[in-house]
């Protein structure tokens, strides 16, 4: 179970509509949403991995400490949601190093996991995985092996693999279901809000039982917040992707928590948190 900790105005789909220079003045709702998520996880005895923006963590340090204090894994989502495809190798290295250091100081624990904003690691920038390995991370969950107009690497392995030669560093893709040679998304996000809950439950069970693999599920704090401020001037596709079924998300999440056993990434995949 994973949570990408970012506020509603920080999503990639709003880049052309919300300037980073305006972030500070906008109503910030991430802390309240994260607290509700922590309550739901506690109700079901679930621990999770929170891929957290450094920008958010720096402004809500007590929230970060609550995440860690309740037994969840703190991981990196980059500093301010800049896609890896928009960064040079030098910029990417600086970004992931800065975020790792800040999160470790705030959380008082090692940070070994990373997820690229908008799953922005793919065939054109696989060098980013080597940079993560060299920067002290032990795993990434940044590749989505599907066709999508904004991201995706459909030819990628569906399950965890070692992308850096002899290094134990892992890439653990978001879960997909393969039917008739076609990979279908079933790992959360907008697809979880789009498809009927019964499909998501069936797909996850199929991967668990037939392929005997753990599933990676992700969502964002803003997805359980139907009262968030609405952005004007959005294209129809963008508006639908962001706002579709927000009012149903929390109930679906509660059902998901009850229907399966969930854990944090490092523990489910047995990733060593010690020093190299």
| Residue 73, domain member (yes or no) | yes
* Mean per-residue pLDDT of the chain: 95
- Tally the domains of the chain: 1
28 SS3 class: coil
Q: Average pLDDT in the 200-207 region?
A: 98
| Residue 102, domain member (yes or no) | yes
Q: At what angle do helices 89-107 and 127-134 cross, to 10 degrees?
A: 40
Q: Average pLDDT in the 198-226 region?
A: 97
* 133-185 confidence digits (pLDDT tens): 999 999 999 999 987 767 779 999 999 999 999 999 999 999 999 998 889 99
In sequence order, the 6+-apart residues with CB closer than 8 A to the CB of 187 are 144, 174, 175, 176, 215, 216, 217, 218
Structural domain range at position 140:
2-268
Per-residue confidence (pLDDT) for residue 275, from 0 to 100: 46
| Residue 273, domain member (yes or no) | no
| Residue 276, domain member (yes or no) | no
Residues 55 and 79: their CA atoms lie apart, in Å, by: 5
* CATH number, residue 41: 3.20.20.370
Q: Average pLDDT in the 198-221 region?
A: 97
| Residue 41, domain member (yes or no) | yes
Residues 222 and 207: their CA atoms lie apart, in Å, by: 27
Q: Which residues pair with 188 in a beta bridge?
A: 218
| Residue 203, domain member (yes or no) | yes
| Residue 39, domain member (yes or no) | yes
Tokens of 35: 């607290």
User: Residue for token digits 């998304």?
Assistant: 185
pLDDT at 198 over 50: yes
Q: Average pLDDT in the 4-25 region?
A: 95
Q: Average pLDDT in the 19-40 region?
A: 97
Question: Is-above-0.75 flag for pTM?
Answer: yes
| Residue 274, domain member (yes or no) | no
């Amino acid at each position: 179970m994973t949570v990408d900790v970012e506020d509603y105005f920080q999503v990639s789909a709003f880049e052309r509509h919300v300037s980073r220079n305006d972030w500070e003045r906008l109503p910030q709702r991430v802390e309240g949403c994260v607290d509700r998520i922590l309550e739901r996880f506690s109700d079901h005895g679930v621990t999770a991995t929170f891929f957290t923006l450094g920008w958010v963590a720096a402004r809500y340090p007590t929230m970060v400490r609550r995440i860690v204090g309740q037994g969840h894994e703190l991981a990196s989502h980059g500093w301010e949601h800049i896609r890896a495809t928009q960064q040079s190798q030098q910029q990417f290295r600086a970004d992931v190093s800065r975020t790792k250091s800040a999160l470790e100081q705030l959380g008082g624990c090692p940070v070994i996991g990373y997820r690229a904003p908008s799953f922005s690691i793919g065939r054109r920038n696989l060098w980013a995985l080597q940079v993560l390995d060299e920067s002290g991370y032990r795993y990434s969950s940044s590749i989505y092996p599907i066709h999508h107009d904004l991201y995706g690497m459909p030819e990628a392995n569906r399950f965890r693999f070692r992308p850096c030669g002899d290094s134990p560093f892992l890439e653990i893709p978001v879960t997909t279901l393969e039917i008739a040679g076609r990979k279908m998304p079933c790992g959360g996000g907008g697809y979880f809000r789009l498809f009927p809950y019964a499909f998501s439950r069936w797909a996850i069970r199929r991967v668990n039982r037939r392929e005997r693999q753990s599933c990676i599920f992700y969502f964002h704090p803003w997805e359980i917040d139907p009262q968030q401020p609405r952005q004007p001037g959005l294209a129809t596709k963008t508006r639908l992707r962001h706002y579709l079924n927000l009012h149903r998300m929390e109930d679906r999440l509660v059902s998901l928590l009850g229907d399966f056993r969930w854990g944090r990434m490092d523990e489910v995949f047995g990733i060593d948190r010690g020093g190299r």
